[in-house]
Amino acid sequence: MQPTPASGPQLRRLAWWGLGLIAGAYLAIGWWPWQPWPDNRVQWRRDGPGLEFHPPSLALLPPLPPAVLPAAPGGVWIEFELVASPQAVPALQQVLTLHDGWLPAKLSVCQWKSDLLLWIPAPSAPRGIREIGTTVADGRPHLVTLVLEETETRIYVDGILRRRSAEFRVDPEAWRGQWVLGDAPEGKRGWRGEFRSLGVGRGPRTAEQVVGRQREWERREVEGWGASSGMAAFFALNEGRGRMAGGRAPGVWLELPRVYAVPHKLALVGSWDLGQVWRRDARDLVVNVLGFLPVGVLAWLAWGRAGLALRWLGVLASGLLLSLMIETGQIWLPERVSSAIDLACNGLGSILGGLLGAVAARWGPRLNGH
């Protein structure tokens, strides 16, 4: 005996129950882990100076006052020792950001696969950003020097000039911002690696000075490692404990907050540059579309008594309402990002699911011989 297919009212009732179950499951997944105040997982290295970053983790340095980083011709240079490993799963991770309260940040130092990338906003550029970079992620310590002059930018790795660009020029106002280490100001770009020292200076920085500093770094095990001439602030990161790291400048401290809380939490954030979004979040885009296919299918069945236009409106509204609930809850979760891109992908997935439901409803009975 063949099973009797469910009647229209029964099918709609089952579809509504299914939507409720899926909504509960997706809310639990979207809000997991429910930790409004998670622990900051940055920690001191056990076998030497430096900090280890394991997401979610960050360290914060307040804006350097003019008394510490005075105006001077020649621009600014940043020097840091880091250890980064190639990524098993490609994802953009932000190593260091200068955040002045606005996004995109005026300078971001990121890791993508085995490359260290520098980003600045550039509205005239195809992706809205300008980028230069070099390879450093090989699991070994490197001394990186970024010379950010008014006319050009140079990247040195272990005393060797790797990249030079006259088009990549950092906004002078960037130095008024907060320094964020280990993650993006808005979160979700957590970096895995080690910072072993950090220094910043203002004024000219020649290739000879960079090479001389590299030689000092190579002899650090014997002669020690300290600030270079011309540095306004230098963090040796040799405290080994506590929540503060002192710099060379008086009153300048790098803070390791006990609670992980990003400094620029946003609601429904997202760039609509599809090329950039795909590069950074391809996996998330696919998951967010496919994950809402069942929502669209069930919504098509649940709204079966409505007219065609209202039925499609119900499909879209069901997906967007559930997605909006998820994204709204993520505003209060530091480890999650409330994303307009996710909302759009969920809506698209619901529409595609509705199409699948419509096709199944039309062709299913014919395939069964009804």
3-state secondary structure of 222: helix
Higher pLDDT, 306 or 140: 140
> What's the whole-number average pLDDT of the chain?
89
The pLDDT tens digits for 261-297 are 999 988 887 665 666 666 666 778 899 999 999 999 9
Band the pLDDT of 71: cuts 50, 70, 90.
Answer: low
Report yes or no: 270 and 285 within 8 Å, Cβ to Cβ: no
Determine the pLDDT at residue 55.
93
The pLDDT tens digits for 314-329 are 999 999 999 999 999 9
Determine the pLDDT at residue 8.
76
Q: What is the four-CA torsion angle of 178, 181, 184, 189, rounded to 10 degrees?
A: 180
Per domain, the residue ranges of the chain are 9-35+268-367, 43-255
Q: What is the mean pLDDT of residues 152-172?
A: 95
CATH fold of 43-255: Jelly Rolls (2.60.120)
Determine the pLDDT at residue 284.
83
Inter-helix orientation angle 340-367/274-290, to 10°: 40
Give the number of other CB atoms < 10 A from CB of residue 176. 16
The pLDDT tens digits for 230-250 are 888 999 999 999 999 998 787
Give the C-alpha separation, 160 to 181, whole Å: 24
pTM, 2 dp: 0.82
Phi, psi of 78 (to 5 degrees): -120, 135
Band the pLDDT of 72: cuts 50, 70, 90.
Answer: low
Measured at the CA of 295, the angle between CA 290 and CA 297, to 5 degrees, comes to: 95
